[in-house]
Amino acid sequence: MKLFLLVVAIALPGIYCTIPPRLTVPSQDELAQSVARGKDVYTAQCMACHQVNGEGLTGVYPPLAGSDHMTKDQDKSISVVLFGQNEEITVKGAKYSVPMPAMNSLTDQQIADVLNYVGQSWGNQLGVVTPSQVKSKRN
């Protein structure tokens, strides 16, 4: 079986064996710096709706704290921050239909930072978001 895969890899380069680019994972110190910057972005851009503790306002603005909606799909979370959201969603059993505006005026770094802050706060466990991931969604 290993020989077959090697033959396929050699015979069909670029079709069946495309190797994804190596993702650069930030160090713990870099992540801590990103989270700190993200807190500033959150305070300036997100806190008015989602509140200081990420609890939102039931039925109006969804919670980010312990949000099953946000943490289940990192790419979707990036897209929501970049492009906003207009469809009804259910978070923690409550429905929310107030549109979220696009935050595409923020830089890729700022979006990565705010998602890292939210993703590491209030019991959330969202994977690390990098500016290059945001850039790939923006384009």
Model-wide pTM > 0.95 = no
> 40 in the Ramachandran plot: left (φ > 0), alpha (ψ -120 to 50) or beta?
alpha
Q: Answer whether residue 42 is part of any domain.
A: yes
Q: Answer whether residue 23 is part of any domain.
A: no
Q: Answer whether residue 6 is part of any domain.
A: no
Q: What are phi and psi of 110, to 5 degrees?
A: -65, -40
Q: Answer whether residue 50 is part of any domain.
A: yes
For the cut 50, the answer to whether the pLDDT of residue 125 exceeds it is yes
pLDDT at 25: 67
For the cut 60, the answer to whether the pLDDT of residue 17 exceeds it is no
Is 128 or 72 the better-scoring residue by pLDDT?
A: 128
Q: What is the pLDDT of residues 100-114, one digit of tens each?
A: 999 999 999 999 999
pLDDT at 126: 84
Mean pLDDT value across residues 50-71: 92
Q: Answer whether residue 116 is part of any domain.
A: yes
Structural domains counted in the chain: 1
Residues 43, 121: Cα–Cα separation, whole Å: 13
For the cut 90, the answer to whether the pLDDT of residue 88 exceeds it is yes
The CATH number linked to 129 is: 1.10.760.10
Q: Answer whether residue 10 is part of any domain.
A: no
For the cut 80, the answer to whether the pLDDT of residue 94 exceeds it is yes
Q: What is the pLDDT of residues 47-59, one digit of tens each?
A: 999 999 999 999 9
When mean pLDDT is compared across 63-67, 108-112, 123-127, 135-139, the lowest value belongs to 123-127
Kindly indicate the confidence band of residue 27, based on its pLDDT and cuts at 50, 70 and 90: confident
CA distances from 43 to 26, 47, 118 (A): 23, 5, 11
Mean pLDDT value across residues 48-71: 92
Q: Answer whether residue 72 is part of any domain.
A: yes
Residues 45, 84: Cα–Cα separation, whole Å: 13
- Domain span holding position 72: 31-138
Q: Answer whether residue 21 is part of any domain.
A: no
